[in-house]
Structure 1
Amino acid sequence: MHGEYKVPGGKLVVADLELTDGKLTNVRIAGDFFLEPDSALDDINGAIEGLPRESTAEEIAAAVQAALPSDAQLLGFSPEAIAVTVRRAIAQAASWRDYDWQIIHGEPQHPAMQLALDEVLTNAVGEGTRKPTLRIWEWASPAIIIGSFQSLRNEVDRANAEKYGVTVVRRISGGGAMFVEPESAITYSLYVPGELVQGLSFADSYAFLDEWVLDALKALGIDAFYKPLNDISSPAGKIGGAAQKRLGSGAVLHHVTMSYDMDAEKMVRVLRIGREKLSDKGTASAQKRVDPLRSQTGLSRQEVISKMLDTFVALHGGTRSEVTPEEYAKAEQLAAEKFSTEAWLKRVP
C-alpha cells in the first residue's frame, strides 16, 4: 500500500506498507523532509510497525511521538503528517495526478446559477459522468452568498441589499457570508472524488485542497498561508475563505472566494458583521477585515487568475473544458426551483 501527503507549507511525506493479519507491516516512511538524527527514521518506522489497521491518525501520531528521541528535529513534517500519510495509504487514497483534471473558465453567471452549477457539477463527478474539475467563476451581478446554516436576518440587511442591487442567495456549504461584485473577487470551485481526500480529517482536507493556490500566491510575492479552519491569509490580513460540502454521490465540493478589490464600505452596509466576529478575527473594523489581492500584487484580476491556472496545471495537469448542455439545463432548473426561491433562502430565517 502506498500513500502520499504534501504538508501544507511543508514537505512531501510518503508511506509504503503492507497489511498482515490486520497489522501494519514492512512500514517505510520516506519523503523530501529533513530529519535529525538519521536514526530517527528507524524509530518512526518501528513505532508504526505492528499497529492495528484500525489505528486512528491520533493513535499513530502518538506512537511516533513517543518513539522519537528527545533531540529529534523534524523539519517540514510532523508526527501528525506521518499519521495522515499512513492513513491515506491504508485507505488507498488517490493522488492529484491520478485524475484527468478539467478546467472551466466560462461566461459570467448570475448568483443562483453559480450555486446550481456547483451542485450539478459535484454530483456529475460523483456519478462518474464528469471528470474532476476546477471551475473559475465569473459574476454577472453583485451578490451576498450566505452559508447553509446562517440566519438570513442576522447576516443580511435586505433593505440595503435591495438598494444597492445586491442579490442574496444561500449556498449548500456551511461557513460565513460573502459579499462579491463583478471583478471584485476571485471565486473557484473544485469538484473532486472522495478518494482524493481519503485518510484526511475534514479540517486537514481544507488546506490540502488549497495548497496549489497558496503556491500560486507565493509565486506572485504574497506570503500566503492557511489559517485553520478555512481562511487563506497573509501577514497583511485575510485574503479569502473556503467552504466544503460532501454530497451523497460521494464527491466533494470545495469552493473558495478571495477578495481582489472589495468595496468594504458597501460590504458593511449590506452585511450585518457583528463586533464579536470582527474581534475574533483580530481586526478593529470591517473595512480592514479582508485584504484585497490587488493591493498585494499590483496585477490585474485576470493576471492573478492566469497565474493560478498555470500553477494548477503545472502541479496537477489539466485540460480546458466547458459545462455541457445537459449540465447547464440541470443547473437552470435547479436555480429556478431551489436557489432562486424564498423557501430555500429562508430555510434559516
Structure 2
Amino acid sequence: MHGEFKVPGGKLVVVDLDVRDGALADVRLSGDFFLEPDDALPLIDAALTGLPVASDAKTIAAAVTAALPEGAILLGFSAEAVATAVRRALQRATSWDDYRWELVQPGPLSPLMHLALDQVLAEEVGEGRRAPTLRFWEWASPAVVIGSFQSVKNEVDADNAERYGFPVVRRISGGGAMFIEPAGAVTYSLYAPVDLVQGMTFADSYAFLDEWAVQGLKSLGIDASYVPLNDIASPSGKIGGAAQKRLGNGGVLHHVTMAYDMDGDRMAEVLRIGREKLSDKGTTSAAKRVDPLRSQTGLDRAEIIDRLVDTFRSAHGLVEGALTADELARAEQLVAEKFDTPAWLHRVP
C-alpha cells in the first residue's frame, strides 16, 4: 500500500507498507524532507511496523515521536504528516483528486442566508448527497459576522453598528468577528468530507485547505503566506482569516474572508477590538493590521475571484454546479428557526 501527503508549505511525505494479520508490516518512510540524524529514519519505520491498522492519527504520530532520538530535527514535515501519509496508504484518508469538485456562485444573498447555506451544504456533503463544493459568496448587504463562541456585547458597538447599518449575525464556526462591506470582501466556503483532512491537526488542516488560495494570490504578484493558526497574510499585513467547523456526520465547513477594500475607520467604530487582542500583533491599530487586496493588486474584485477559481480548477479540478431548490428551502427554514433568532445571536451573552 502507498500513501502520500504534501505538507502545506513543506515537503512531500511518502509511506509504503504492507498489512499482515491486522497490523502494519514492512513500513518504509521516504520523501524530500530533511531529517537529522540519518539513523532516525529506520527508527521511525520500526516504530510504525506492528501498529494495528485501526490506529488513529494520534496513535501513529505518538509512535513516531517516541521513536525519535533526543535532539532529532524534522524539517518540512512532522509526526502528524507521517500519520496522514500512513492513513492514506491504508485508504483511511483521501486527497483532493479523489473527488469531483463543484463550483457554486449563486449571486448576492443576505448574510443570514449565507450562514444558513454553510450549515446546509456542509451537512449535504457529510451525508453524501452533494459533491464536495467550493462556493464564492456575494454579499447583498453589510454585516458584522461574529464567531460561534464570541460575545455580542464584547465584540460589537451596538449603537454604531445600528447607526451605520451593520446588522450582527452569528456563524456556526469559531474565530473572530468579520466586518463586511459587500464590495470590500472576498469570501469563499469549502464543503468537504472529513476524510480529506483525516489525520491532520486542526492547525495543519487550515493551511492544507487554503494552500490553493495562497498560490492564487501569489500568481497575482502578492507575497502571500499562511500564518498559523488561521490567517492569510503578506509582509504588509493580514489579508484574510479562516474558520472551520467539523460536523458529526462527516462534513467539514472551511470558510475564508479576505479584505478586498476596507473602511478601517468605520470598522474601528463598529467593532470593539481591545488592546489585549492586539497585544501580540505588533500594532495598536486594527485597521493597520489589514492589507486589502485592492491596494496590493490594483485589480477589480471580480478579477481576483476569477483568478482564485482558475487556480482551484487547475490544482484540483472544478465543474459548474448549482444550489438545489431543496437546499435553498432548508436554508430559508434555518434562517427563520435559528440564525435570525435572538436565542442564536445571543447564545453567548
Check whether TM > 0.5.
Answer: yes
The 4+ residue runs of structure 1 with deviation greater than 6 A are 34-40
Task: Note the alpha carbon deviations across 1:230-264, whole angstroms, 9 max, x for none.
Answer: 11122111111111111122101111111111111
Query: Unpaired segments of 5 or more residues in structure 1?
Result: none
Conserved in 2, the CA contact under 8 Å of 1:64 and 1:79? no
Tell me which amino acid in the other structure corresponds to 1:125: V
Residues 312, 64 of structure 1: alpha-carbon distance in 2 compared, 3 angstrom cutoff? farther
Residues 326, 271 of structure 1: alpha-carbon distance in 2 compared, 3 angstrom cutoff? same
Task: Give the match for residue 298 of structure 1.
Answer: 298
- Distance in 1 between residues matched to 2:64 and 2:239, nearest whole Å: 31
Secondary structure (helix, strand or coil) at the match of 1:93 reads coil
Task: Give the match for residue 168 of structure 1.
Answer: 168
Task: Give the match for residue 331 of structure 2.
Answer: 331
Task: Note the alpha carbon deviations across 1:91-133, whole angstroms, 9 max, x for none.
Answer: 6201111111001112111110000110111111111211100
Conserved in 2, the CA contact under 8 Å of 1:91 and 1:199? no
Tell me which amino acid in the other structure corresponds to 1:321: G
Deviation at 1:3, TM superposition (A): 2.6
Q: How does 1:253-268 map to 2 (within 5 A)?
A: 253-268=253-268
Task: Give the match for residue 276 of structure 2.
Answer: 276
Conserved in 2, the CA contact under 8 Å of 1:239 and 1:293? yes
Residues 138, 22 of structure 1: alpha-carbon distance in 2 compared, 3 angstrom cutoff? same
Task: Give the match for residue 346 of structure 2.
Answer: 346
Task: Note the alpha carbon deviations across 1:287-330, whole angstroms, 9 max, x for none.
Answer: 21211112222222111111111111111111011111111111
Query: Unpaired segments of 5 or more residues in structure 2?
Result: none
RMSD: 2.3
Conserved in 1, the CA contact under 8 Å of 2:48 and 2:60? no
Task: Note the alpha carbon deviations across 1:131-169, whole angstroms, 9 max, x for none.
Answer: 100000010111100011101100011111111111210
Task: Give the match for residue 243 of structure 2.
Answer: 243
Conserved in 2, the CA contact under 8 Å of 1:88 and 1:200? no
Deviation at 1:170, TM superposition (A): 0.3
Conserved in 2, the CA contact under 8 Å of 1:184 and 1:262? yes
Task: Give the match for residue 66 of structure 1.
Answer: 69
Task: Note the alpha carbon deviations across 1:20-66, whole angstroms, 9 max, x for none.
Answer: 34542122334455679988765654453344553724424325633
- Distance in 2 between residues matched to 1:63 and 1:220, nearest whole Å: 43
- Distance in 2 between residues matched to 1:5 and 1:237, nearest whole Å: 30
- Distance in 1 between residues matched to 2:339 and 2:74, nearest whole Å: 48
Task: Give the match for residue 318 of structure 1.
Answer: 318
Which moves more between the two structures, 170-179 or 203-212? 203-212
Normalising to structure 1: TM-score of the pair? 0.91
- Distance in 1 between residues matched to 2:62 and 2:8, nearest whole Å: 21
Count of residues in Structure 1 that have an aligned counterpart in Structure 2:
346
Secondary structure (helix, strand or coil) at the match of 2:108 reads coil
Secondary structure (helix, strand or coil) at the match of 1:183 reads helix
Task: Give the match for residue 222 of structure 1.
Answer: 222
- Distance in 2 between residues matched to 1:74 and 1:245, nearest whole Å: 29
- Distance in 2 between residues matched to 1:346 and 1:10, nearest whole Å: 41
Normalising to structure 2: TM-score of the pair? 0.91
Task: Give the match for residue 177 of structure 1.
Answer: 177
- Distance in 1 between residues matched to 2:97 and 2:91, nearest whole Å: 17
